[in-house]
Amino acid sequence: MANEKEKFIDEIVELIGGKNNIQSATNCMTRMRIRIKDESSVDVKGLKELNDVMGVVQAETLQIIVGPGKAKKLTDLLLERYNVSSEDSQTEMTGNQTVTEDWQENKASIKQKQKKGKLKSALETIGGIFIPMIPAIIAAGIFNGFSSLIGTLQGEGTLTGDFWEATRLLFSLIGTGFLGYFSIFTGINAAKRFGATEALGGMIGAISIASPLVELSQLFGLYDADEPLNSILTTGKGGIIGVIFGVFILAKLEKMIRKRVPDVLDLIVTPVATLLITVALFVFIIMPISGIFSDWLVSGLSIIIGSDNTIVSIISGYILSAVFLPMVLLGLHHGLIPIYAIQLDVLGGVSLFPVLAMAGAGQVGASIAIYLICKKVGNHRMKQIIAGALPAGILGIGEPLIYGVTLPLGKPFITAGLGAGFGGAYVMMMQVMANAWGPSGLVAVPLMQADKMIHYVIGIFIAYIGGFIITRLFIKKEDVANA
């Protein structure tokens, strides 16, 4: 297996123009993300024809879709085997390479027609800060969830003894080991993204949660002892937004100062001067302003997402789930990642993610309806695509269903969203909260808070049924016969 993977990596490197054409590489859950020096040297068609390559997307980075788990292993092998710098199970959607090409080519053609504006680029940059942290976010969320579950069962007397207490504390230690220092990791990744020294970026994140902030705030009369969270300046004020913006300023200053400092003094003067100026701006301007923005955002979201009014919850849950995939199609979903992070930072959980996760479930239900229609009209090609892509869709990887089935057909993409809305409405109504965010579908169940897992599962099945029924009602045989 190792030799096969090495051969696979060698083929990829050859097709992308060789080692010298690689600037850096990283990965997300399903994709190898390779930053290319000369895009004209990349043989995209050749990459698509490789076995186990499920898709190729040309965006800010060259994205080679190979599936969950495999993306990380192959990227690590690329970094090690070719000494490439890191920038920021064999899974096949079908047993037929031609079928796989259908959805990936559909996606490529759609993406090529989209214009990348400044807003979209900015959202992609923000998304790029958090993507490398997703494995840790998922792991920390799962361990925190199980720690909470064990604690609940201990309180009920179901679990007793030192073993379970030690297990609870161990799980809590793993969870807080990342989430407790989320700001620091954000600072490091933001620095990497903006071109600053990573350790300095981590220091900005650390400063945002450091206890001396309280003393500094008290000294300048910015601290509210009665309501610490209402202070103009306190630990965590401004949250993730503040850290990202602070590191952005850090990167600009560091580059500007480094240009003006003699080489012999660079190692001492540049970091000291950069930090002094950045931290002064960060503490007294960026954190307070970001804090106000974060408070407004959380308050606004609480009206829509955390409303005690059942009718408001149902309507907002339905709309959010129904429109999420069109947002993904337009590349606007990257803008939701900071909202997840803010909720996790401020509320200790994410209520928006479980609602949006219903969108993929609606695609599953719609695809099942189309599959049954295909059986009646004899469209064996579409049946094969759906049969191969459905397991992945159920597990939360929706691209094959979206780009291979519902989007090319047109109307099912809409009916799937309308059906998904019912699942979103239920999840919002039951106030389902996740300990983290990550893949959707059934694999996201362990990410949910212990007492809400069952409601998340119910929501998924409601979205399946909703997507199925609405698609079955509005899609005619002739819509599928010649697809």
CA angle 142, 146, 148 (to 5 degrees): 115
* Strand 31-36, strand 62-65: pairing: antiparallel
Residue 335's contacts (CB-CB under 8 Å, 6 or more residues apart) are 123, 126
Strand partners of residue 31:
65
Write down the H helix ranges in 378-406.
Answer: 380-394, 399-401
E-strand spans in 38-167?
A: 55-58, 62-65
Cα separation of 103 and 78, whole Å?
26
Active site residue 28: yes
Q: Per DSSP, what are the bridge partners of residue 26?
A: 33
Beta-carbon contacts of 87 under 8 Å, excluding residues fewer than 6 positions away, are: 23, 24, 25, 26, 33, 35, 61, 192
Judge contact between 65 and 399, C-beta under 8 A. Answer: yes
Pairing label, strands 55-58, 62-65? antiparallel
Residue 453 and residue 434: Cα distance in Å, rounded?
A: 9
Dihedral, CA of residue 9, residue 10, residue 16 and residue 19, to nearest 10: 110
State CA 203 to chain mean position distance. Answer: 24
Please name the residues in contact with 106: beta carbons below 8 A apart, sequence gap of 6 or more. Answer: 403, 404, 407, 408
Catalytic residue among 13, 28, 213, 480: 28
DSSP string over 115-149:
---HHHHHHHHHHHHHGGGHHHHHHHHHHHHHHHH
φ, ψ at 221 (rounded to 5°): 70, 30
- So which residues are the catalytic ones? 28
